[in-house]
Structure 1
């Protein structure tokens, strides 16, 4: 199941909300007052702990004097750009994630399974 709360898409969305507030030179407490909410609530939204429903998003944008449809169009364009940039991996293939995985991939499988004699435990007795 796709977990949208922890996706790159959601990070872009939340960054956009925060950047919009900051571009208006408002603190979280200032935006909270405009919305009739607390600074903590604004913080929870911006860090992804709390989600906005569509009505709350519209109120958020109205408080920042930003057009709802403009925000949605811009967000959509940014998310589509992310999709274009994402490198596709063929099914069954996995991309190495770090230097260790790259090194391990370079070693033939039959050699990777061999454990050096000094590491192997010899039977006692």
Structure 2
């Protein structure tokens, strides 16, 4: 299945469809009779295992007594709100690391970090003549 079927937006869409059915106090079996489809198909749609074509969505909403454009406008508003919240979310602040945590991150121990470096010996250069 594509990633779009499991996106946050699709989850909101499917939850909205399911809640509409439940608000009408209909079971999946009741809705499938109104649609002329199987209960399994309704279950697959609500669980995201299959998608609705736009005409099927219109029929689904008509069976629930919901205006097609009203549903789309409400869904659009919810998705825009989700996007606005996501865009406003700030990335977590990076905490300043203590010297000890920096050493641990680098894989050094305190003994290694406090050791004085060996005195560097001067390098003798050979001059070619």
TM-score range, shorter chain: 0.7 to 0.9
Residue by residue over 1:21-78, the C-alpha shift from the partner in whole angstroms, topping out at 9 and shown as x without a partner, is: 0010000000001001111110100010010000000000011011000000000000
Other-structure match for 1:33: 33
Unaligned runs of 5+ in 1: 97-101, 117-125
User: Structure 2: how far apart are the matches of 1:41 and 1:82?
Assistant: 28
Distance 1:32 1:4, change over 3 A: same
User: Structure 1: how far apart are the matches of 2:52 and 2:92?
Assistant: 34
Distance 1:115 1:33, change over 3 A: farther
Other-structure match for 1:112: 105
Cα RMSD (Å):
2.7
User: Structure 1: how far apart are the matches of 2:11 and 2:35?
Assistant: 22
User: Structure 2: how far apart are the matches of 1:63 and 1:9?
Assistant: 23
Other-structure match for 1:47: 47
Q: How far is the alpha carbon of 1:14 from its aligned partner?
A: 0.2
TM-score by length of 1: 0.73
How many pairs does the alignment contain? 106
Other-structure match for 1:13: 13
1:3 has 2:3 as partner: yes
Other-structure match for 1:68: 68
Q: How far is the alpha carbon of 1:12 from its aligned partner?
A: 0.3
User: Structure 1: how far apart are the matches of 2:102 and 2:51?
Assistant: 46
